[in-house]
Amino acid sequence: MLEKRKPIAVAEAVQRVMQFAFQEKVETVSLQQAHGRFLAEDIAADQDVPAFDRSPYDGYAIRSVDSQEACSENPVTFKVVGEIGAGYVFEGLVGDREAVRIMTGAPIPRGCDAVVMLELTQTFEEDDQRYMSIKRSYEAGTNISYKGEDVQKGAILIEKGQYINPGVVALLATFGYDQVPVFRKPIVGVIATGSELLEPSDALQPGKIRNSNAYMIMAQIERAGATVKYFGKFSDELNLCIQAVEKALQEVDILITTGGVSVGDYDYLPAIYEAIEAQVLFNKVAMRPGSVTTVAARNGQLLFGLSGNPSACYVGFELFTRPIIRTAFGNKQPHLRREQAVLGADFKKPNPFTRFVRANASFENGQLVAVPSGFDKSSAVSSLAEANAFIVLPGGSRGYEKGMQVVVLMLEDLQGSEWPWDNIEKSYKS
């Protein structure tokens, strides 16, 4: 007799998976490879930035006191006693009515306390000596970038777990991090199952389809920040699949399979879990698509049995696999970011299960509006391309109307949510 599967709530299923959070591991990468990784240590400033008072403009460094009498009727003239570009230091002491030609970024010469922009000066030469005159006075401190005005020594700049974006890369470089401590990426294996599968390079044949899931999932793994290991596609032959899964498990932290998790004659994943003595955490979730999503564990290693149906496969990854990957990065918000949005179109299909409608969410006049991104069956592949969010529609409703408030989960976001699963209410009109 066919075993009847008992659906569990999405939040319960996510919780079961999250029991297997990764132990964080640290490795070091070069600064050039750090972009897109997650920082494994707090970074504190070991110096002031800037490290010296410097000029924000090209112009002349002066002693402000010498400019006090200057006005348009009475220009004050300075003797130009030197010139410095960024990277050089003026060694002398600047005296009475003396100025130093200075470029942006150069240190303020000793004795000077103001910089006059080049455009506000007039220059001339007399007996091989250069002079500069100004027609207004300057207060002490005018046009000086002070030591430590950007960052003060000792400040915590970036916290452990922070995503390394280009700005973080700039800070790491500023503070001399040629090598950067980052969290190790988990290795996520991918196996596609199905005798119907062709590779993308193959010509179509009767009854066959191209394997899109493996490539989609590999891209999702990379988007989540992990490393992919692809083992290929396998036809629906039990022993072949058992061997492939056993072998893959030796080489990865997490293994994802697609297809074969339902109740068809060639849906072998349940038999594979049994054969390799993996414990099934759940094999039915009260959600659409992806109700057949199955997760099993063996010796602390997770096996994600994602559906063969492309939309179901995609959703299963984002809800269950993504957050566990994120735990490897010291991430306190490993789940998809939850936001509130306005439903941008009617969604009339009733369903007893919570729906995750692939959608495009964008701001319209400051309001996030989410519109289903196309054909909504579990088998759909076309609606995935435009999707940057899931609209979460709780089950048990007769359908939803344009204008209702809905919860959305954002797919392209880096910030994430701590736990987005509480209080997902039935929608209401705003």
Which residues here bind ligand LQZAQKY5, judged by CB under 6 A? 192, 194, 196-197, 209, 211-214, 258-264, 267, 289, 291-292, 307-310, 312, 378-379
Nearest CB to ligand MOO, comparing residues 231 and 314: 314
Cα-to-chain-centroid distance, residue 318: 14
How far apart (Å, rounded) are the C-alpha atoms in residues 41 and 22?
Answer: 17
How far apart (Å, rounded) are the C-alpha atoms in residues 172 and 192?
Answer: 40
Contact set for ligand MOO, span 378-397 (CB under 6 A): 378
Quick one: what does residue 192 bind among ligand LQZAQKY5, Mg ion, ligand MOO, none, with the CB cut-off 5 to 8 Å set by partner type?
A: ligand LQZAQKY5
Nearest CB to ligand LQZAQKY5, comparing residues 207 and 300: 207
Tokens representing residue 152 in the block:
């003060």
Q: Which amino acid is at 345?
A: A
Quick one: what does residue 263 bind among ligand LQZAQKY5, ligand MOO, Mg ion, none, with the CB cut-off 5 to 8 Å set by partner type?
A: ligand LQZAQKY5
Nearest CB to Mg ion, comparing residues 189 and 305: 305
Cα-to-chain-centroid distance, residue 291: 28
Q: Which of 259, 290, 344, 420 binds ligand MOO (CB under 6 A)?
A: 290
Asked if residue 312 binds ligand MOO (CB under 6 A), the reply is: yes
Give me the residue label for tokens 């006191």.
65
The distance of closest approach from Cβ of residue 265 to ligand LQZAQKY5 in the complex, given in angstroms and rounded to an integer, is 10
Which residue has the closest beta carbon to ligand LQZAQKY5?
Answer: 308
Strand duo 301-306 + 254-258: pairing: parallel
Residue of 42, 38, 43, 44 whose CA lies nearest to 331? 38
What distances in angstroms separate CA 228 from CA 60, 202, 242, one per listed residue?
56, 23, 20
399: left (phi over 0), alpha (psi -120 to 50) or beta: left
How far apart (Å, rounded) are the C-alpha atoms in residues 201 and 204?
Answer: 9
The distance of closest approach from Cβ of residue 378 to ligand MOO in the complex, given in angstroms and rounded to an integer, is 3
The distance of closest approach from Cβ of residue 377 to ligand MOO in the complex, given in angstroms and rounded to an integer, is 8
Strand duo 98-102 + 59-62: pairing: antiparallel
The distance of closest approach from Cβ of residue 316 to ligand MOO in the complex, given in angstroms and rounded to an integer, is 8
How far apart (Å, rounded) are the C-alpha atoms in residues 109 and 411?
Answer: 52
The distance of closest approach from Cβ of residue 260 to Mg ion in the complex, given in angstroms and rounded to an integer, is 6
Q: Which of 307, 333, 417, 427 binds ligand MOO (CB under 6 A)?
A: 307
The distance of closest approach from Cβ of residue 381 to ligand LQZAQKY5 in the complex, given in angstroms and rounded to an integer, is 7
Which stretches of the chain bind Mg ion, using CB under 5 A?
Answer: 262, 264, 267
Specify the DSSP class assigned to residue 236: S
End-to-end, the C-alpha distance of the chain in Å comes to 49
The distance of closest approach from Cβ of residue 223 to ligand MOO in the complex, given in angstroms and rounded to an integer, is 21
Name the site residues for ligand MOO (rule: CB under 6 A): 288-292, 307, 309, 312, 378
